[in-house]
Structure 1
Amino acid sequence: MYHEIALALALLLLAYVFAMLEINIEGENGWAAKLPTWRIEKHWLLDVFFGGRPLTGYHAWTLCFMMLIFHFPCLLLWQWSWPLEARIMGSFMLFWITEDFLWFLRNPAWGWKRFKPGEIKWHKHWLLGLPTDYWTFAAIGTGLLAWSFR
């Protein structure tokens, strides 16, 4: 149980630090709206895999970078297994929804009061007060983590 608690705390800290970095990069203009980067606004694959949000160069490279960071310990330790991959991917999913939520809570231009449908244009689908991505990734990520620790 200590391992699970340590992992949860580390993910929370990592998400907090990355959210603060993104707040300093993006400011009040979320989803790289004012960054000098390319954007793909519409594509059916974005609806399936990205919640209908645009794909930006900033986010494409950020996702790749973080995926490599999450997998880097496998190279450091020269170990890999399916349970370890499940733990990595589950952690990766929980990291992103936590980081996204913290971006809103800690961003002076947003905060809790603006965290709702209609205010956040890039989160198009909501369920029970949260973007549907949060529910999807929380369920899949938690399932992967639970399986990895069995």
Structure 2
Amino acid sequence: MPASYLIQLLSTLGFVVVLAYFFAKVEIHIEGDAGWAANLPTWRIEKHWLLDIFWGGRAMTGYHAWMISFVALFFHLPIFLMWHWSWQLEARILASMMVFWIVEDFLWFIVNPAFGWKRFHRKHVSWHKHWIFGAPTDYWIFAIISGLLFACSV
């Protein structure tokens, strides 16, 4: 792996972590202690077999549909600014988005005064249905897939 790629990768990851922190702070101010848009005036689909496959069993809300779409478009902005697209760039963008969601979600708990490190546990976080090794399963799945995508983005 060339040194320039490693520097670029670390810079990308650093920037993604900063973005995730800021977005977590925004979500904390929007949601407060009621995660997964529990108290927001938005539509919800609580049960559907596709939610079990693609959403970890969590409810789909209007809030999350618009918010996730916005973040996906935001991460794709460089393609339109540079007017350049490639499979490698798309892999880097998708990997960065996955890292963003892992870090943002984790920081939502850690930075949120209503939760903190001690309440980052499945018994306090009902909307994350599946946990392994002390974290939501999504974190591990996204980490593996993002690692593979970053490797493909060379």
- TM-score calculated relative to the size of structure 1: 0.98
Instruction: Note the C-alpha offset of 1:144.
Output: 0.2
Moved over 3 A (4+): none
Question: Secondary structure in 1 aligned to 2:76?
Answer: helix
Please tell me the residue identity of whatever aligns with 1:4.
L
1:5 is matched with which residue?
A: 10
Q: How far apart in 2 are the matches of 1:72 and 1:5? A: 20
Task: State yes or no: 1:98 paired with 2:89.
Answer: no
Task: Deviation per CA, 1:91-127: give whole Å up to 9, x if none.
Answer: 0011001100000000000000000111100000000
Pairing partner for 1:121 from 123, 126, 137 = 126
Pairing partner for 2:80 from 75, 85, 90 = 75
Task: State yes or no: 1:57 paired with 2:70.
Answer: no
> Runs of 5+ in structure 1 lacking a partner?
none
Instruction: Note the C-alpha offset of 1:35.
Output: 0.4
> Runs of 5+ in structure 2 lacking a partner?
1-5
Q: How far apart in 2 are the matches of 1:147 and 1:44? A: 31
Please tell me the residue identity of whatever aligns with 2:120.
F
Task: Deviation per CA, 1:45-76: give whole Å up to 9, x if none.
Answer: 00000000000000000010001000111011
Please tell me the residue identity of whatever aligns with 2:74.
I
Please tell me the residue identity of whatever aligns with 2:121.
K
Residues paired across the two proteins, number: 149
Question: Secondary structure in 2 aligned to 1:105?
Answer: helix
1:84 is matched with which residue?
A: 89
Pairing partner for 1:28 from 17, 22, 33 = 33
Pairing partner for 2:136 from 106, 114, 131 = 131
Please tell me the residue identity of whatever aligns with 2:64.
H
Question: Secondary structure in 1 aligned to 2:35?
Answer: coil
Instruction: Note the C-alpha offset of 1:4.
Output: 1.1
Instruction: Note the C-alpha offset of 1:142.
Output: 1.3
